[in-house]
């Protein structure tokens, strides 16, 4: 190899080495930049995860059991001892209404007899007063009338038994309520009367977990929303077929404090304590059910209001 060729090869080798060094440097810079941005993205995502805390987490309430469920997605947003079976008190009346609407035609007329006026609490009815079924249901849901649901249960139970004996017809109706529980594939609910009143110091008229109670509310909203129509209002007036006007004041004192309220039902007995179930619709088409069981007479309203406020905050955070 002559000197000229040797010089040329040395120059070519140096050029290749320089090119290789430049390429190595470029790859190194790209790698460092990629690692930096990748780390930045990870840190940002981790920061988002740290900051995005469900406002409902750790909410302190009086109720012994509670649950908040997005009925559209079935996502549980909050729960506290939601599977323990507890007395329902007058929340029992939701299943009473569901069962009655299964059994009785919409055009049914229900008569209030003296047999029902002995129920606990005076709803202002008169003996032999006649009502359209839906009007009496509305009145009974809003005022939590034990007289009203007793008359409805008797009328619906008579459909199956064909008897005018109100005791027998009501017993048959309670049987139908429990059959409905099985039909809905619920496990915890059990009913012993149509009102939810305590039968004695040890036995309530109805039982269920907060989770199953939420499912009952959800079923009613999807399939028989007319049950809840009147419960959205703090007060309304209804007229029986005898042209007797009745003022119905909602037993839910928190009606006006709840955003987008579309359903509510209270309950209170010695065994149950304070119960309250509501459905709110803070976003159009996104119903949220809130159930509290085993609170106090006044605490149930504060519990639900707090859970509703926290639910609104959770939705705003994207939960």
DSSP assignment of 107-160:
T-EEEE-TTTTTSSS-----TTEEEEHHHHHHHHHHHT-HHHHHHHHHHHHHHH
CA quadruple 265, 175, 82, 216: dihedral, nearest 10 = -50
Strand partners, 110: 131
Q: What's the pLDDT score for residue 165? A: 74
Against a cut of 0.85, is the pTM above it? no
Residues in the chain: 319
Angle between helices 92-103 and 166-183 (to 10 degrees): 100
**DSSP sequence for 218-244:** HHHHHH-GGGTGGGGSSEEEEE-TT--
What distance in Å separates the CA atoms of residue 138 and residue 83, rounded to the nearest whole number? 30
Report residues of the chain scoring pLDDT below 70. Answer: 1-51, 119-121, 160-164
pLDDT score, position 161: 66
pLDDT at 52: 72
Q: How far is CA 51 from CA 48, 166, 222, in A?
A: 5, 60, 35
Q: Please report the pLDDT score of residue 8 as a whole number.
A: 47
Tell me the per-residue pLDDT of 219-272, one tens digit each, with 9 for 90 and over. Answer: 999 999 999 999 999 999 999 999 999 999 999 999 999 989 999 999 999 999
Whole-number pLDDT of residue 51: 61
Helix (H, G, I), strand (E, B) or coil at 65: strand
Token pair for residue 89? 């008190």
Q: Are 276 and 303 in contact (CB under 8 A)?
A: yes
User: 146-161 vs 166-183: helix axis angle to the nearest 10?
Assistant: 90
């Amino acid at each position: 190899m002559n000197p000229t060729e040797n010089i040329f090869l040395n120059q070519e080798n140096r050029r290749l080495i320089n090119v290789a060094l430049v390429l190595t440097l470029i790859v190194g810079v790209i790698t460092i930049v990629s690692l930096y941005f990748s780390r930045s993205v990870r840190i940002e995502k981790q920061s988002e995860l740290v900051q995005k805390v469900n406002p409902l987490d750790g909410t302190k309430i009086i109720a012994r059991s509670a649950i908040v469920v997005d009925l559209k997605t079935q996502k549980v947003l909050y729960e506290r001892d939601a599977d323990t079976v507890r007395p329902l008190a007058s929340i029992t009346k939701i299943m009473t209404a569901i069962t009655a609407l299964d059994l009785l035609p919409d055009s049914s007329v229900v008569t209030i007899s003296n047999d029902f006026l002995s129920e606990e609490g005076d709803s202002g009815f008169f003996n032999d007063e006649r009502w359209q079924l839906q009007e009496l249901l509305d009145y009974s849901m809003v005022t939590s009338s034990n007289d009203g649901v007793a008359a409805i249960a008797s009328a619906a139970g008579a459909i199956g038994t064909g008897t005018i004996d109100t005791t027998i017809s009501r017993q048959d109706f309670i049987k139908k309520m429990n059959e409905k529980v099985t039909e809905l594939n619920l496990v915890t609910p059990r009913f012993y009367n149509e009102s939810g009143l305590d039968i004695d110091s040890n036995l309530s008229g109805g039982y269920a977990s907060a989770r199953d109670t939420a499912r009952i509310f959800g079923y009613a909203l999807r399939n028989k929303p007319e049950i809840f129509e009147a419960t959205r209002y703090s007060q309304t007036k209804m007229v029986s077929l005898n042209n007797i006007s009745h003022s119905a004041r909602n037993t839910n004192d928190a009606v006006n404090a709840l955003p987008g309220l579309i359903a509510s039902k209270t309950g209170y007995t010695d065994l149950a304590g304070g119960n309250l179930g509501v459905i709110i619709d803070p976003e159009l088409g996104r119903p949220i059910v809130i159930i509290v069981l085993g609170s106090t007479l006044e605490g149930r309203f504060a519990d639900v209001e707090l859970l509703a406020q926290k639910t609104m905050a959770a939705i705003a955070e994207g939960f």
